[in-house]
Amino acid sequence: MDQPRPVWSPWRTIFAFGLVSLAADMVYEGMRAMAGPLLGELGASALTVGVVTGAGEAVALVLRLFTGAWADRGDRHWPLTVVGYGMTAVCVPLLAVTPFLGGAGLAVAATLILLERTGKAVRSPAKSALLARMTTTTGRGKGFGVHKALDQVGAFSGPLVLAGTAAATGALWPGFALLAVPGALAMLLLVQLRRRAPIVTEPEPDELPMPSVGPDSRGRGFGTAMLGLDMPPRFRLFSLATALTTAGLTTFGVISYRLVQDDLVGPAAVLLLYALAMAVGAGAAFMSGALFDRVGSRVLLAVPLLVAAVPPLVFGDRLALVIVGVAVWGAAFGVQDSAVKAHVADLVPARRRATGYGVFAAVQGVGALVGGVVAGALVEGDVVVLIVVVGAAQVVALGVLLRSLR
């Protein structure tokens, strides 16, 4: 007779899942920090770099519309999570061989970057749905906060590892090869987590009524469900508010471009500022998650205020204020990915959470695209206009957020 395998406690399960994200974030955040320089070394123009990286981020967000609904329809949360992490663990270290492929190196590197971003889209809705189950008994805010804090540790340590390796060797490819180590650790821990966490192998009972998508659930009904058209009104309002805050949260690429162009910092210091933002984000994720469990969704009202404060600080001409602005940017980013996701789990039925997270990410992606275009167009000559536009968008976001939280 087989002995029952040991079962991890809810907090141990959440912590282990956080370590998986920590290791995986070292891999893909390291890649995102150095993707541009690598593509440039392989002969890419600035336009090519923009197309490849922009397409990658679009794939990572929009594809979640499909992968979220797919995870919910067959309860495929674990398989999609494992496959998605596996794509990251394999694709990023393979970038180390691209400088040795001659003329094919650029095409191979672009393909690997897009595949890695596809892996992010495959796993994210399913992973968030699993984490929502894991946090049922621990407090959803604290659970998401702890997970995001560990995630952010990987987000700032990965770029630092690549920067240190590049400084020591004078080349980028050894750093990508080194990222195979945290990638392998993430996969080993994920397999162990799947075996020791039976508390999340079955969906929890729905606290909200199951949305109806009509009798033809495999036809038009599935399309309706995939697009989130049957989600509760509060979810749709909250998604709109978050899209507005995401649009105002200027991408770090635009921030770093302006800093280097204005000679406020050098390219090497940009990595340190990014690491600072991720470290602050880790602390903000943990604190906002704990506050979410204490005071509820009211903690989310801080997000538009943080976002509105970023442009006046980071686009100034005093380095001290710029550093403060980068820290505020990191704090807003941390809250967006912890307490905000915890609230999404409370707005949709348990059996539809992966779908909800997919729709939510797609709406955020639209906001990020619009915000990136606006910031890119205004940052070089019309910073004051950019500050006003972002501030106005956050006033609207605050109003929509207040209505969704009633």
pLDDT digits (tens, 9 = 90+) for 341-395: 888 888 888 778 888 888 888 888 788 778 877 877 787 778 889 899 999 999 9
Unique residue bearing structure tokens 């006033």: 395
The Cα–Cα gap between 308 and 300 comes to 14
The Cα–Cα gap between 155 and 22 comes to 7
pLDDT digits (tens, 9 = 90+) for 298-342: 888 999 999 999 999 988 888 889 899 999 998 998 888 788 888
Phi, psi of 4 (to 5 degrees): -65, 135
Q: Which of 52-61, 123-132, 225-234, 304-313 has the lowest mean pLDDT?
A: 225-234
Greater confidence (308 vs 207) lies with: 308
Q: CA neighbours within 13 Å on the CB side: how many for 230?
A: 19
Per-residue tokens: 21: 């994200």
Burial class (CB in 10 A: 0-12, 13-18, 19+), 95: buried
Q: What angle do CA 386, 392, 393 make, to 5 degrees?
A: 90
Helices (H) and strands (E) in the chain, counts: 17, 0
In sequence order, the 6+-apart residues with CB closer than 8 A to the CB of 2 are none
132, 345 Cβ separation under 8 angstroms:
yes
| Structural domains for the chain | 10-201+218-405 (1.20.1250.20)
Closest CA to 16 of 141, 130, 136: 130
Question: Could you say which DSSP state residue 406 is in?
Answer: -
Greater confidence (152 vs 399) lies with: 399
